[in-house]
Structure formats: C-alpha cells, structure tokens
Structure 1
Amino acid sequence: MVNLRAPTLRHRTAYEQPWFVLSSSRYSVIPSDHPAISHFYAFDVAHSADLLAVPDGCVDIVFDCDTTRPSVRICGTPLEAQRVELLQGHHYFGVRFSPGVIPGFINVLAEDLTEQEWDLLEVSAFAQRIFESIVKAPQLHEQVKLFNDYLAPRLMGRTSKLTAMVIQQAIARRGDLRIQQLEDLSGYTSRTIHRQFSQDTGLSPKTFCRIIRCQTALDTLNTQHEVSFSELALDLGFSDQSHFLRDFKKLISTTPCEYQRKMLQNAYNDRISIA
C-alpha cells in the first residue's frame, strides 16, 4: 500500500497547448517552483483563426491585458480539441496549474470547471484585489511576482491525498495506468478512488490518464524527429497503432504525422522562450 501522508504534485515543466504557441508572435514561459503551478506564460496573438485548446488536465487562468477592456477567466481542461476565443493583437498572461489541481481561491466546483470557463472576477474575491495590478504590469516577471505574492498561499487545499497519489502515479507511468493497479497501490476500492478523484478534479481517473498519455505523445513528437508511431503506441499502452491514431486525432484535431509536420514546419520549439 502506498504511503499517502506526503503527496507531491510536482510534475514536468510544461503541459502543451501547441495551437496557442503557433498562433502567437512570441510565447514566453517561466517555470514555477510552486507544486500547484506547472508554469506561467505570456503571448501575443498573431492570428486567431482555428485556435484550439487541447486536453492537458490543467486549469488555466488567462489575463487579457488589453488596455481598454482587460479581463481574466479561469478555464478547465477540455476533453477533446476545443475552439477558444483569443483576440488578434491582444497580449495575454497565463497561469497553468499542475494537472488535477483546482486552485483554492475560487468558488467553483471541480466538476463545473471541466470544459468550461468562468469570469475569474465573479468567482474569486481574492483575484479581484490584484487583477488591475497584473494587467497593468509591463513585464512577465512582474506579473508572476504579483500573482505569487498574493495568491500563492491560497493555491492548495482541494486535492486529497488519495487523488494526489493517483495524479503522481499517472504522471510517473505516462498515463499507462489501470484501476486495478490503483486499487493495489492505495488499498482503496475502485469506487472510492473514482468518487474521490472525480470530486477533486472533475475528471475520472480513466479520462485523466487518457489526457496524460496524449500529452506524453505530444512531448515525444515535439522533441524527437524520428518517431515510430507503432512503437510510440505500444510504449504508451495502447492496444494497437490504430487506437492511438484515433485517440490522438480526437484530442488534438489532427493526426500525429500531420501534427509533427506542422510543428517542424513552423519551428515550434524555437517559438518558445524560457524567460
């Protein structure tokens, strides 16, 4: 049985939103030291046509820093590729939480965040107090500091130890995780695991693992030029290559082959700067 006393939600630095990067004129990232946050980012929208969010298991807070009509929204993970509205020529500052983390300063249930977005100022009194300062801050590092100084102490609090263990195991196994394995690891029944995880994250363990597998595939395609799709499918625990290809297209909106072609053609990795 796994020791659930000291869970950690620390994961790799970035969970990919590739279509955001390709639609931006510049895309900057600052990794976070806080276990609840994956990273901070900022970008200017160069073109907004066909801008899609893909499943990443993360909650995002996105500030539109427009000087005339600034706004901020909190967005739950989509379950498949989903069109989003970002305005051409606008500058955005974002906070991407670690997978499965629901920030503790909002008055929204986890299940009401999945595939949805809310005006953050309507669901968080804490955010109202720093909103104007963040959208007016001229530099990404200043925005990050403002967010961390005021909201970091209120980030955690909604994730149970059992859910943290499931997240930790799903990440470690790159989404190739079965409910029987979770029962063996935790000592809890599948019903208890499912109920607690869904309550904490708004997702089922199976859906979460599916998202992590897809994100792992994105990471592989973004960092390796020579990829065998059949080997990648097997490595990620898919029953066959066809299953992998169908799942990838539904979640990302294109095939792995076409995805990798677009990323290489548009120099995806060179577009991202670590601030």
Structure 2
Amino acid sequence: MTYLTFEPSDDLATLVKCYWTLESPREESPEKQTIVPDGCMEMIFHYGDLYKQYIGLGNSLIQPKCFVIGQLTRPLEIEPTGKTGIFSVRFHPNGFLPFANIPIKEMENTAVSLEKLFGNDGLEIEKRVLKATTTSQKIKLIETFLLNRLTNTATIDRIVKSTVETILTGNGQLSVYELSKQTNINRRRLERKFSLAIGLSPKQLSKTIRLQSTLKMLLTKNFTSLTALAYENEYYDQAHFIKDFKELTGFTPKEFYGNNLKMSSLFYGKD
C-alpha cells in the first residue's frame, strides 16, 4: 500500500491542507478499515475500484466514485471492493466553506457526490480528474476548479480561523470557556459560527484534535503507559480518556493499541 502527500499552491494553502494518493493492489480477503475523525473534510476521487461504507447494524452502501465526505463525528468503517486508487483533497477544518453550496452541518458523516454539490461542473471535474494519468495533472485540474469557484473569500470568518489555529496549536486541550475568552466572543456566538463554517462545535473539534495528538503519540510509542498518555494529553481522568477514545475510534485504548496499531498508521494523524 502506497500513501503519498502533496502540498497545495500558495493560493489555496489557507484552505487546502494537502493532497494525497493511496494505491494498493486487490486484496484476497479485504478487511474493514477504520477512519478516525480528524476535523478535516475531504474531496475523494476513486480512480481504482470503489469502497464499501458500513452504516451500522450490519448495513452497508457503495460510496460514490467521487464525493466530498462531511465532518466525521464517529469512526467511519470502509472496505475496499478491489484495487485501491484514490486521489484526495484534504481541506483545513474551515477550508471547504467557500466551496459549499449546501450547509456544512448537513454533510456530517455523509459522502455527498460532486454532482449533487456542483451540478454539471462536478461531473466535468470528476471526468477530467479520473482521466488524468499523473498526480500533478490531477492537482493542476482540481486547483483550477477550486480557484475558479473561490469568488467570495468573505465567507472565511476571521474569528473562526484564529480559534481553529488556537485549537490546533494547543492540541485541543483548551476548554471552550478559554477559547471564547481568548477570542473575546461569547460561547454561544462562537458555537454558531463554528457550526456554520466547520460543521462541528468548538468542543467537538477540540476533542477530535486532542485525540489525533494522542494517536500520534501512540504511533510513535512516545509514552510510558496508557495512563501516562491520558494525563500527558490533559484528559480529566482515565474514564474521560477511554470514553472519548472509544467514541472517535470505536475501540478502547487497550484494544486499539493491541489490534489496530499497524493498520492505523495509514489512517490516523495524517498530515
């Protein structure tokens, strides 16, 4: 399995975190893979075979060939149906808003097709990106598409942007009270702004970022015990740590560390 990341151009760097590709041959017996929320929305192009997405109670659906996945508030279980070939645009937490024509909150935990989002333009960029033979061609096509749609930068809220930066810098460890105090805006107004721009509350985004920071420490084995890991990341207590961990990964820290560490290096703490 080959996973590569690429930098966006300066014109899009405040909105796009990176581009990435994932390629893997067809597996004899494919396994479910768990994607953990990371606070970023993604625009996915499957130039390989499609992926099955599990939606609870044993039910599943086949994801669209090209789509934007909204903010995740729970782990996403997927499974390849054949050979993997994915090109993706990973947006910063507030980066997709200038391109959205439906409320961000409505996209939560959902794969929304490019046709539904952008109509004929969505079908056209889908066709052109899938036809491109190199990653650099794909990036050039998608950057042109995004820049052409970037007509109203006023949608990028200064308070949301600075609060997101504070959350990221503090690894999600600041309370909403501290965040609203720093931005000099009341909590309710901050939560409304976040819901519109990101589709998550400041508390949800902080929880997600703190977990991502914890997972990075798990992956690099930079901890002495799971208890120490919880306190290092300023969880109130072990029970709080286990609750948040299970909510966002589907596993307890012990289960995750024992069974999923190898697989997780592809899907957690991605830059």
Q: Same fold (TM over 0.5)?
A: yes
Match for residue 19 of structure 2? 40
1:228 partner amino acid: S
Match for residue 59 of structure 1? 41
Q: Which of the numbers 117, 131, 134 marks the counterpart of 1:139?
A: 134
Residue 149 (1) aligns with residue 144 (2): yes
| Shift in CA distance, 226/190, structure 1 to aligned 2, threshold 3 Å | closer
Q: Which of the numbers 59, 65, 74 marks the counterpart of 2:68?
A: 74
**Which moved further from structure 2: 75-84 or 220-229?**
220-229
The answer (yes or no) to whether the contact 1:64–1:72 under 8 Å persists in 2 is: yes
Output the CA distance in 1 between the equivalents of 2:262 and 2:103.
40
User: How many equivalent residue pairs?
Assistant: 247
Q: Secondary structure at the match of 2:98?
A: coil
Shift of 1:180: 1.8
Match for residue 104 of structure 1? 98
Match for residue 55 of structure 2? none
| Shift in CA distance, 29/206, structure 1 to aligned 2, threshold 3 Å | same
Output the CA distance in 2 between the equivalents of 1:200 and 1:127.
21
| Shift in CA distance, 223/32, structure 1 to aligned 2, threshold 3 Å | farther
The answer (yes or no) to whether the contact 1:221–1:227 under 8 Å persists in 2 is: no
Shift of 1:231: 2.4
The answer (yes or no) to whether the contact 1:63–1:72 under 8 Å persists in 2 is: yes
| Shift in CA distance, 115/216, structure 1 to aligned 2, threshold 3 Å | same
Q: After superposition, where does 1:175-254 map in structure 2 within 5 Å? A: 175-254=172-251
Please report the TM-score for the alignment, with normalisation by the length of structure 2. 0.80
Q: Which runs of 5+ in 1 are unaligned?
A: 1-24
The answer (yes or no) to whether the contact 2:31–2:79 under 8 Å persists in 1 is: no
1:219 partner amino acid: K
Q: Secondary structure at the match of 1:129?
A: helix
The answer (yes or no) to whether the contact 1:57–1:77 under 8 Å persists in 2 is: yes
**Which moved further from structure 2: 219-228 or 166-175?**
219-228
Output the CA distance in 2 between the equivalents of 1:191 and 1:217.
28
Q: Which of the numbers 83, 88, 99 marks the counterpart of 2:82?
A: 88
| Shift in CA distance, 30/241, structure 1 to aligned 2, threshold 3 Å | same
| Shift in CA distance, 231/267, structure 1 to aligned 2, threshold 3 Å | closer
The answer (yes or no) to whether the contact 2:43–2:66 under 8 Å persists in 1 is: yes
Q: Secondary structure at the match of 1:104?
A: helix
Question: What do residues 137-180 of structure 1 show as CA deviations (whole Å, max 9, x unaligned)?
Answer: 12222211221233245357433111112211110111111122
Output the CA distance in 1 between the equivalents of 2:236 and 2:247.
17
Shift of 1:264: 5.6
Output the CA distance in 2 between the equivalents of 1:204 and 1:57.
11
Output the CA distance in 1 between the equivalents of 2:122 and 2:85.
19
The answer (yes or no) to whether the contact 1:62–1:93 under 8 Å persists in 2 is: yes
Match for residue 124 of structure 1? 118
**Which moved further from structure 2: 255-264 or 161-170?**
255-264
2:68 partner amino acid: I
Shift of 1:66: 4.2
Output the CA distance in 1 between the equivalents of 2:259 and 2:76.
18
Q: Secondary structure at the match of 1:133?
A: helix
Identity among equivalent pairs (%): 24
Question: What do residues 204-250 of structure 1 show as CA deviations (whole Å, max 9, x unaligned)?
Answer: 11111111111111122122354432222122221112321232122
